[in-house]
């Protein structure tokens, strides 16, 4: 039987051994084995979608902050200087349009009834398929890229933009597509989808095309506080304060540039990237470059 003295000596020895032992090293994350939870699976559709459409994990620099952190509320744009807002300088060979900043040149838009909205009813055809709004095409491409063509076909006959968005959201939930993957698609392939749809919308609908051209060189901004990627990420009042502060400056919109890396050359507008506004202004500039005396638009029209 152990005596109190023996127990005391044993406990002392155990304490001494613990002091000499080094703490175990934390295991390194095996990125290739999925240790980085921000990396989506290479084939999200379970075999339906091609692996070539796999979305790469965002870098730490571009990682989106969770909505719960209140990005819009703490993005105090009033602390920035103009140099902070301007991103990578435009390469000399990139053509661009200059849009003046100022309260009088600002044209904010929001709401599904505005003709610049992605929800606005506008029929157009892309690659032989008919769509009824920019949102309808955008959601169909999102499902095609992140799930498969069979799932995307479920949106083909939906006329309502709101219904198309709802069906797409439910499909993504059913397939458990990670939010990080959807966000990355939105800022990469989604930008190209948006450009294709907006171009078709205004080239194939004469009345809408003339309304867009009538905005001349106005700074088009999707004014929506809850979206700092496709919209301004702030209220219209804060957007106007931003325009007042930087009045006299100009935003440069790259033209005829591959949309894959277009965000590298965008100047933030308000507290967001305003990608919807940028692409709409780019399409406007490209439409103005056409000779409207030709019948190119008449041949493209679906009306």
pLDDT > 70 in the chain, percent: 63
CA pair distance 54, 128, nearest whole angstrom: 26
User: What are the residue ranges of helices labelled H in 214-273?
Assistant: 236-245
| Look-up of token digits 């050359």 | 265
Domain residue ranges of the chain, discontinuous segments joined by +: 75-300
- For residues 184 and 40, the answer to whether their CB atoms sit within 8 Å is yes
The count of residues in the chain is: 303
What are phi and psi for residue 164, nearest 5 degrees? -60, -40
Name the token pair of 303: 């009306």
CA pair distance 207, 213, nearest whole angstrom: 10
CATH architecture of residue range(s) 75-300: Orthogonal Bundle (1.10)
Three-state secondary-structure class, residue 259: helix
Per-residue model confidence as pLDDT tens digits over 18-56: 566 555 444 444 333 333 333 333 333 333 333 334 334
* Lowest mean pLDDT across 73-82, 160-169, 215-224, 225-234: 73-82
pTM comes to: 0.68
Name the token pair of 116: 């610049």
Q: How far is CA 137 from CA 57, 125, 159, 176, in A?
A: 25, 10, 11, 22
> Is the pLDDT assigned to residue 89 strictly greater than 70?
no
């Amino acid at each position: 039987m152990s005596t109190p003295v023996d127990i005391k000596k044993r406990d002392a020895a155990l304490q001494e051994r613990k002091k000499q032992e080094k703490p175990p090293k934390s295991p390194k994350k095996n990125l290739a084995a999925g240790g980085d939870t921000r990396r989506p699976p290479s084939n999200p559709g379970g075999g339906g979608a091609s692996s070539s459409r796999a979305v790469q994990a965002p870098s730490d620099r571009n990682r989106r902050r969770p909505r719960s952190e209140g990005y819009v509320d703490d993005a105090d744009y009033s602390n920035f200087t103009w140099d902070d807002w301007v991103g990578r300088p435009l390469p000399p060979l990139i053509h661009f349009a200059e849009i003046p900043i100022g309260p009088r040149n600002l044209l904010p838009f929001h709401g599904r009834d505005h003709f610049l909205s992605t929800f606005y009813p506008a029929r157009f055809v892309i690659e032989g398929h008919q769509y009824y709004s920019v949102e309808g095409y955008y959601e169909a491409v999102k499902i095609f890229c992140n799930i498969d063509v069979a799932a995307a076909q479920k949106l083909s006959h939906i006329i309502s933009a709101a219904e198309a968005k709802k069906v797409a959201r439910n499909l993504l939930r059913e397939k458990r597509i990670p939010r990080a993957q959807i966000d990355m698609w939105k800022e990469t392939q989604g930008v190209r989808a948006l450009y294709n749809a907006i171009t078709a919308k205004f080239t194939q609908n004469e009345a809408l095309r003339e309304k867009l051209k009538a905005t001349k060189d106005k700074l088009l901004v999707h004014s929506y506080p809850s979206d700092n990627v496709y919209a301004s990420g702030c209220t219209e009042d804060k957007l106007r304060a931003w325009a007042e502060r930087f009045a006299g400056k100009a935003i440069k919109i790259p033209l005829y540039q591959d949309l894959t890396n277009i965000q590298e050359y965008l100047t933030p507008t308000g507290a967001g990237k305003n990608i919807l506004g940028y692409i709409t202004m780019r399409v406007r500039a490209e439409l103005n470059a056409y000779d409207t005396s030709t019948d190119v638009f008449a041949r493209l029209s679906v009306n």
